[in-house]
Structure 1
Amino acid sequence: MKLVDSPIIEGTVGLRQSTVLSKDSSTITDTIINTINGYDYELRAINKKIFDNPELGYKEFQAHNNIVALLHSLGFEVTPHAFGVATSFSCEVGTGGRVVVYNAEYDALPGIGHACGHNLIATSSIASFLGLAAALKASNLPGRVRLYGTPAEEGGGGKLKLIDAGAYKDVDACLMVHPGPPRPAPKSHDGHGCCVPTGLSYGTSLANKKFNVTYTGRPAHAAMAPYQGRNALDAVVLSYNGVSMLRQQTRPYDRIHSVILDGGKVPNVITSFTKSEYYVRSATLKEATALEKRVKACLDGAATATGCEIEYEVENEYADLRPNRTICTLYAEAMSLPSINSPVTCDFSNTEPGPGSTDQGNVSYVVPSFHGGFAIPCPPGAYNHTPGFTACAGTDEAHDLAVVTSKGMAIAGWKVLSEEAVAEKIWEDFEKDRREVDVEL
């Protein structure tokens, strides 16, 4: 198998010809839909391979190799291990013009496999790439479509590494979708998983500031001379209680989670070292940063009260999701076409932040982005990040719904590449939103 180990390169396309080649919008739509339908076997196969072989962030070697092999077998040139990340890849088709990117996630969760449905995310993005690549070939218009492998979304911040490597510098739109359980309405969530009635075109997420904190005290015999010690366990307990009291003065959408990673070894020795991990979330990156300062004031106070030293170790930060409204509208319109007939909710008046966090939020701070949601059949209580949702994500019904979303994303991508006025409106929306958030990553 030939793999091109170089920067992003233009691919040669071995696409199946299923429609008359034309620039006509309706014919291009048919080209996209028929192409995606024509790859039914390959899409089901890659979905199953990813689902059956769950891998944690930055260890998704089988998923990476299987997707690269699939793309190569279909006639595309691929850059494996792209952007300096071992389990990332890049594939590009087209020349000149604007650039549309589809992000493919494929990392799993410890012990419960694909309980966030990233096998479906990868499948939908691969299918969208194939559909839009066929449209470009059919039209002979300038423009490029890329498929990025984006590992380690579950806390590892894979997209942050791609941003730092310049992967999105020339991109005009970046799209992906995420599965969740069916819910009555987007505003009725209780904090579990994705809140999707049948499908959402517009939805946000919480910014998330992640860090570790350590307290270092002084050991002493807990019975003979406790007064000679400095108790790091007291520091971590006091800090936890302080943060718990802080919650009374936080906003309803603020979230503070922590876990004690190291609380000491034996009870008869004054604990000299403790370590905790914190997630601090809020509606925007700016608000999360302000909340983080208040949390750290509690942690610093505990160090002062107990005479311990305190140190912080920053993990990473996920920005809040800033969906581009024009792209959201394009996707909603595409999903309502008779040839797709899967309408989704696109409610810009819903200002309630979504309950989760994603590194696609960081992408949305640097380029116009889309992160839609779609519901898959699940029994009550089978939320994202539960074993019940893992079972749901592996069904044929879930696969079929992921493929349906891919058609809407591909058609939206075509509009970005082929219509100047649409592209201008997308960037107008993006620049307006950037002025509103007033935060640089």
Structure 2
Amino acid sequence: MASSNITSVINEEIRQRKGEISTINRQIHANPELAYEEHKAHDVFVKTLESLNFQVTPHAYGLATAFSAEYGSGGRLVIYNAEYDALPGIGHACGHNLIASASFAAFLGAAAALKASGRPGRVRLLGTPAEEGGGGKLKLIEAGAYKGASACLMVHPGPGHNMPAPLRGVAFAPMLANVKMRVHFAGREAHASIAPWDGVNALDAVCLSYNAISMLRQQIRPYERIHGVFRSAGDRPNVTPADCTVEYYCRSATKCGAEVLWQRVQKCFEGAAIATGCEMRLEPINSYADLRFSRALCEAYVGAMPEGTVSLGTPADILAGSTDMGNVCYECPGFHGVFGIGTKEGQANHTKGFTAASGTEDAFERALECGRGMAEVGWKVLSDDAFAERVEKEWKEDMKQAAEGKAASI
């Protein structure tokens, strides 16, 4: 079929299924669920997809709140990630309801294109829980969810007030690698007044390490970040704290860079343990890789979106967090675009203002627009052999660059 006809098929399918997509969007936003607790989101997706006669696997890949829906056979495989976890206390302040909606729309559009063409190929909608710190995609990777994929695509909402009109989105925004670690200090209890000399103060180790890391921040690169919190720091002032725990994130432009930064931070903890006489134990949480990009996928997405509304690259301050989609990009060619929603100054991701903005009809319409664009890109991967070969070749070359510690950049 001609590309114009396929575009019409994609647009018509998404138009006809707007009601189902909107229902999912509203239900997820109105019922925020934390990492690995997204049972309502999981269930509404499974029920809706089954009603549309898709092959659906609930509780997929050993995760209670993951699902997988697929259409087609043979050929290449394109995956769309649907995120739907929320944040404690502030709900969908990262707009994962919109991510789920955009990926659902893209999946429906790409599946319709496959059906109309009669070509071989597979398109998969993957429900990916626990992006907000839970590392859900890491578990999916371990279970083989992305094995054999020719591309994986998703988009993420960001603050629209940072994007000058007519710009509404970017194809690639850098995201940092993130090494996450809990550090446990073990000392010895004592009565803080009667016999303080009998104690080994784990809180002192926490405070020494905190100050050492604060000094280290002067000596790190501009794009690197170190931040942490005290998880436990004693119970009563008159008892020498014997067991204290902190949690720290170390971010850098690449996986290699984040690991090197963590080694420097770890010395701060080790020094504090030696100085106070405490024992120290490290507990890895999960680590997110830096976000890599496929230039071919990015260029195709820009071409599929309304002219002038999406730029190829962006300054790092549009979104400079971390995501487990970075780990997926080390498994297969990846795309993680950003689209702006109607926020005001100070309403960036992870704020109550962003939660409100992510629930608006305008934000939903923008997510649908991104879904249409991703459907066209997915179809291009499935149907255009030369394009798919370019995507694969560029990804293999980029993996060599990543192994050398070089950051992705447009």
Question: What residue identity is the alignment partner of 1:264?
Answer: G
Aligned to 2:170: 200
Determine whether 1:406 maps to 2:406. no
Q: Is the 8 A contact 2:158 2:319 kept in 1?
A: no
Determine whether 1:171 maps to 2:136. no
| 1:62–1:353 Cα change, 3 Å | closer
Q: Any stretches of 5+ residues in structure 2 without a counterpart? A: 406-410
Aligned to 1:313: 283
Instruction: Report the CA distance between 1:40 and its aligned residue.
Output: 1.4
Whose RCO is larger (CA < 8 A, sep 6+)? 2
Determine whether 1:65 maps to 2:43. yes
Aligned to 1:129: 107
1:283 to 249, 253, 259: 253
- 1:184 & 1:379 partners in 2: Cα distance? 9
Alignment of 1:179-190 (within 5 A): 179-184=157-162
Q: Any stretches of 5+ residues in structure 1 without a counterpart? A: 1-22, 187-195
Aligned to 1:243: 213
Instruction: Report the CA distance between 1:198 and its aligned residue.
Output: 1.8
Aligned to 2:198: 228
C-alpha distance after superposition, 1:399-428 (max 9, x if no partner): 000000000000000110000110010011
- 2:292 & 2:244 partners in 1: Cα distance? 37
Instruction: Report the CA distance between 1:224 and its aligned residue.
Output: 2.2
* Paired residue secondary structure (2:160): coil
Aligned to 2:391: 426
Aligned to 2:15: 37
2:242 to 272, 280, 296: 272
| 1:184–1:116 Cα change, 3 Å | closer
Instruction: Report the CA distance between 1:184 and its aligned residue.
Output: 3.8
* Paired residue secondary structure (1:316): coil
Aligned to 2:185: 215
Aligned to 2:310: 344
C-alpha distance after superposition, 1:302-359 (max 9, x if no partner): 00000110001000000000011110111011003xxxx56201038x6789510000
Question: What residue identity is the alignment partner of 1:169?
Answer: K
* Paired residue secondary structure (1:92): strand
Could you tell me the percent identity over the aligned residues?
Answer: 55
2:327 to 354, 362, 366: 362
* Paired residue secondary structure (2:34): coil
CA RMSD of aligned residues (A): 1.6
Instruction: Report the CA distance between 1:282 and its aligned residue.
Output: 0.6
More moved, 364-373 vs 265-274: 265-274
- 2:29 & 2:313 partners in 1: Cα distance? 32
Q: Using structure 2 for the length normalisation, give the TM-score.
A: 0.96
| 1:76–1:342 Cα change, 3 Å | farther
Question: What residue identity is the alignment partner of 2:93?
Answer: A
Aligned to 2:70: 92
- 1:184 & 1:123 partners in 2: Cα distance? 23
- 2:46 & 2:189 partners in 1: Cα distance? 53
Question: What residue identity is the alignment partner of 1:73?
Answer: S
* Paired residue secondary structure (2:287): strand
C-alpha distance after superposition, 1:154-207 (max 9, x if no partner): 000110011000111110000000001124459xxxxxxxxx952010112000
Q: Is the 8 A contact 2:163 2:340 kept in 1?
A: no
* Paired residue secondary structure (2:134): coil
